[in-house]
């Protein structure tokens, strides 16, 4: 591949031309694509959401807050992310026919582009940080990175393990079932954190496949046990983080489509993020289901601050 960036240009809208009008943190002016070790891209997909709308504005919410509201200096880390990482933002993928009724053609497009993109990033030692958009997109990204058999750490209120939902085999409630069913991940290589809304069938699927579930009650009762477990299970492991913003408790996420009570607070999330072992290697991550409604940037701020707590970690 001669110049991957030229190729990428053809299917990305540059950050400056997205709705936010800026890149993540507005910091990549000095970082070239070639020298980057973290590469952000947005997939503002909103095709199969069934309840609250607005996740197509997730990347916009994150770029706007990270560039205009939030410092790149992380107070509690005493680190500026510009000093600890070389970040480049590709912008948002141009989704052809991003409207209802075109689900199959959009998914075929993403299935062709995203796994190839993240594999190329991995080959050139760049970690993909994907911003959503509905959770469906994790399927395409994880698939592309599955060869290194990462432990999948899935933060979410929901299992997203349904075999099918409202007639769709691939949608925002099914990505992890698809990944398991198609052999990209084994249940024993998967930890679900924050789960509190599921059906009986999904619970059976989780149990049958050996998925480790850490629910908020467990975290509230004994977070030290949880962090000890996470530290142990991630020791010397490749890991992939899929982070649905609705893992946070309902009052923290005013815009996301399916907010749930009995969730986690930012301090608990921070403890868990920090408990991932320094010897682990993050192969990539996504932050999905972020939304923006009525000029309410709280969720964008929370998503950005979550990313800013992950970026300085040794495993990144």
Helix (H) or strand (E) holding 227: helix 223-233
Please work out the total of residues on this chain that contact Mn ion, with binding judged by CB under 5 A: 5
Give the footprint of Mn ion on residues 186-245 (CB under 5 A): 244
Q: Is 56 exposed, middle or buried (0-12, 13-18, 19+ CB in 10 A)?
A: buried
- Residue nearer to Mn ion on the CB measure, 56 or 277: 56
- Residue nearer to Mn ion on the CB measure, 15 or 257: 257
Q: Interface mask (CB under 5 A) for Mn ion, residues 236-275, using x and -? A: --------x-x-----------------------------
The answer to whether 211 and 233 are in contact (CB under 8 A) is no
- Residue nearer to Mn ion on the CB measure, 117 or 269: 269
Minimal distance, residue 121 CB to Mn ion, in Å: 25
Q: Which of 114, 124, 97 is nearest to 43 (CA)?
A: 114
- Residue nearer to Mn ion on the CB measure, 127 or 135: 135
Joined tokens for residue 51: 């309840």
- Residue nearer to Mn ion on the CB measure, 87 or 153: 153
The torsion angle over the Cα atoms of residues 105, 110, 111 and 114, rounded to 10 degrees, is 170
Minimal distance, residue 308 CB to Mn ion, in Å: 22
The answer to whether 137 and 45 are in contact (CB under 8 A) is yes
Joined tokens for residue 30: 């000095």
Minimal distance, residue 16 CB to Mn ion, in Å: 31
Strand intervals (E) in 36-174: 38-43, 73-74, 79-80, 87-93, 127-132, 151-155
Minimal distance, residue 2 CB to Mn ion, in Å: 40
CA distance 45 to 59: 10
Minimal distance, residue 62 CB to Mn ion, in Å: 17
Give the footprint of Mn ion on residues 150-179 (CB under 5 A): 156-158
- Residue nearer to Mn ion on the CB measure, 110 or 157: 157
The answer to whether 196 and 262 are in contact (CB under 8 A) is yes
Q: Is the dihedral of CA 161, 166, 172, 178 positive or negative?
A: positive
Minimal distance, residue 244 CB to Mn ion, in Å: 4
Helix axes 298-310, 266-275, angle to 10 degrees: 20
Minimal distance, residue 228 CB to Mn ion, in Å: 26
| 3-class DSSP state of 14 | coil
Give the footprint of Mn ion on residues 281-310 (CB under 5 A): none
Q: Does 26 contact Mn ion by CB under 5 A?
A: no
Minimal distance, residue 158 CB to Mn ion, in Å: 4
Minimal distance, residue 277 CB to Mn ion, in Å: 26
- Residue nearer to Mn ion on the CB measure, 55 or 72: 55
- Residue nearer to Mn ion on the CB measure, 21 or 52: 52
- Residue nearer to Mn ion on the CB measure, 45 or 70: 45
The answer to whether 292 and 300 are in contact (CB under 8 A) is yes
Give the footprint of Mn ion on residues 99-158 (CB under 5 A): 156-158
**Tally of CA atoms within 13 A in the half-sphere of 88 that contains its CB:** 18
Contacts with Mn ion by CB under 5 A lie at 156-158, 244, 246
């Amino acid at each position: 591949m001669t110049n991957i960036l030229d190729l990428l240009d053809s299917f990305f809208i540059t950050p400056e031309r997205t709705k936010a009008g800026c890149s993540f943190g507005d910091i990549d002016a000095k970082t070239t694509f070639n020298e980057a070790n973290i590469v952000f891209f947005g997939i503002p997909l909103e095709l199969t959401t069934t309840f609250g709308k607005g996740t197509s504005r997730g990347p916009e919410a994150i770029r706007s807050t990270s560039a205009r509201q939030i410092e790149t200096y992380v107070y509690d880390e005493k680190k500026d992310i510009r000093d600890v990482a070389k970040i480049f933002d590709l912008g948002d993928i141009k989704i052809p026919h991003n409207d209802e009724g075109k689900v199959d053609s959009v998914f075929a497009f993403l299935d062709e582009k995203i796994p190839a993109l993240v594999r190329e990033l991995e080959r050139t030692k760049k970690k993909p940080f994907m911003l959503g958009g509905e959770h469906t997109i994790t399927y395409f990204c994880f698939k592309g990175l599955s060869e290194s058999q990462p432990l999948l750490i899935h933060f979410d209120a929901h299992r997203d393990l349904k075999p099918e939902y409202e007639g769709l085999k691939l949608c925002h409630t099914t990505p992890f079932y698809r990944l398991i069913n198609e052999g990209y991940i084994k249940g024993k290589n998967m930890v679900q954190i924050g789960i509190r809304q599921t059906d009986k069938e999904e619970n059976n699927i989780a149990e049958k496949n050996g998925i480790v579930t850490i629910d908020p009650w467990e975290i509230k009762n004994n977070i030290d046990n949880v962090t000890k477990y996470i530290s142990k299970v991630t020791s010397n492991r490749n890991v992939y983080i899929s982070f649905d913003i609705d893992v946070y408790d309902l009052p923290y996420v005013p815009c996301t489509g399916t907010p749930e009570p009995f969730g986690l607070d930012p301090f608990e999330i921070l403890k868990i993020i920090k408990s991932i072992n320094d010897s682990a290697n993050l192969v990539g991550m996504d932050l999905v289901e972020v939304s923006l409604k009525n000029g309410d940037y709280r969720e964008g701020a929370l998503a950005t601050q979550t990313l800013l707590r992950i970026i300085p970690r040794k495993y990144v």
